[in-house]
A and B are shown apart, each in its own frame.
Chain A
């Protein structure tokens, strides 16, 4: 599942509609379908970190995206960016070919209304620092749309919709590029361990052996003999799984 953290409902609405997300009753405002879970964090680093932590603690999330608006003195309103550096020392890993331009971002505690900045926001740092407690840096993504050239303003729903709509297809493409971690099915080890009452350490040895077989495409032997005692049974099992 892909998580999305937005500061405001206004930013999230175009995504909620586009992906057909349904509202859930939870401690946060959350919109979900089978593939995406979107949480509204509220403004600022702390709120973003708390919401990110909540989402990652309560859902099986393989990738998480901070999506929202950002100010800029350099880029045009409406341009979209994938963030490659936050505050000079935090680096999401961008390992896939993607449809966006990239930029750094500086995260502030207050609204920024002047200065020279590529991108500024108030959430990215809190989001990233919370997310790295759960995921690796290539599973953490920040997508920002320039909403203003460093002026204080209150955007309308209509403005947000116009700002974001043209990017929805690319955001969808990007999400589709994010891969779930491959998991190898070792349930057979659990079954054998249960049947022959293997100890934890014996089960781990058996799992290693099964992995060796699977990675070498060797057919797994069938273990189906009469249970005797643990030591003998384990020896017999490992004999079947000879290297």
Chain B
């Protein structure tokens, strides 16, 4: 039995805030525990990221500076002035290949509730640059918990009438609440069903994700489709051929803004940290390690093959 959010830790400084009270009211049976600072709960070295997955706790906290970050080289930069921000740390989905497992000491979900402080900083940076591409779903999947926390909607309201493209990268399918808004970019991560089943625990099935993409297209959005990470499963060429053909037989590629694709890769420190706790064959494959990055030895061949399957639209290789 998964006991997700059976325990909610609340920083004393935010416990009386309206938003916090609203969130807590959704979990009447949860054990609510007051804390001084979220790092007291989130940072200790003696936690097990993996074990906590069976009863992921929620931590409601106030974020301190920095509020936004420039995107690293390991993620896709579809645009100039690419930043990301972290309204949440961690994710309710449990994907075997996710770098968060090697980055954080805890798999508990931290939700920062001081939205205004984020907005103030974004506003300051954005005004200097003139425009911005901002991913808010980078260290988490915001949409996966949208029904509970409504974070994406709060951010969507904030960027209205601003030259900020707001990227919602997701595997979730709950898009019904979104009306068309020009500067919202849905980026749907898709994988073959056997990869979803084997490595993407708690995520929606491929058909459900395709249906969600169709829904946002019908609303007028031009979503991004993300094939990342591509995993070299047995007979991967057959698997990915069938998968990509299925995707573009159901979705007209002309309705897609761009495709982002890349093979599995990871910082080797994070890779080692994850391997200590997670029993997944992903961490036992014979990769090459170059400049501290773990990746497939035949990465170029895989990429070339995937590229041969993609329609002729804007693409970003990562």
Contacts and interface: CB of A to CB of B under 8 A. Distances in A.
A168 interface: no
B309 interface: no
B11 to A, nearest CB: 12
A10 interface: no
Contact of A209 (B33, B40, B51, B284): B284
Chain B interface category by residue count: 20 to 34
A195 B60 CA distance: 56
Nearest to B51: A138
Interface in A107-161: 132, 135-138
B52 A212 contact: no
Contacts of B40: 88-89, 91
B284 A93 contact: no
Contact of B279 (A102, A104, A135, A215): A215
B47 interface: yes
Nearest to B7: A94
Given A84-B31, A211-B281, A132 B46 contact: yes
Interface in A64-109: 84-85, 88-89, 91, 93-97, 102, 104
Contact of B286 (A104, A136, A243): A243
A84 B33 contact: yes
B46 A89 contact: no
Nearest to A182: B279
B1 interface: yes
Given A215-B279, A243-B286, A136 B7 contact: no
Chain A interface SS verdict (over half)? loop
B280 A215 contact: yes
Contacts of A95: 3, 51-52, 54-55
A211 B282 CA distance: 10
A94 B55 contact: yes
A175 to B, nearest CB: 17
Nearest to B279: A215
B41 interface: yes
Interface in A180-220: 182, 184, 205, 208-209, 211-212, 215-216
A209 B55 contact: no
Given A93-B52, A95-B55, A136 B47 contact: yes
A102 B44 contact: no
Given A91-B9, A135-B46, A138-B51, 4 more contacts: A94-B31, A96-B3, A137-B44, A137-B48
Query: What 3 A-B pairs are tightest by C-beta distance, nearest first?
Result: A212-B284, A132-B46, A95-B55
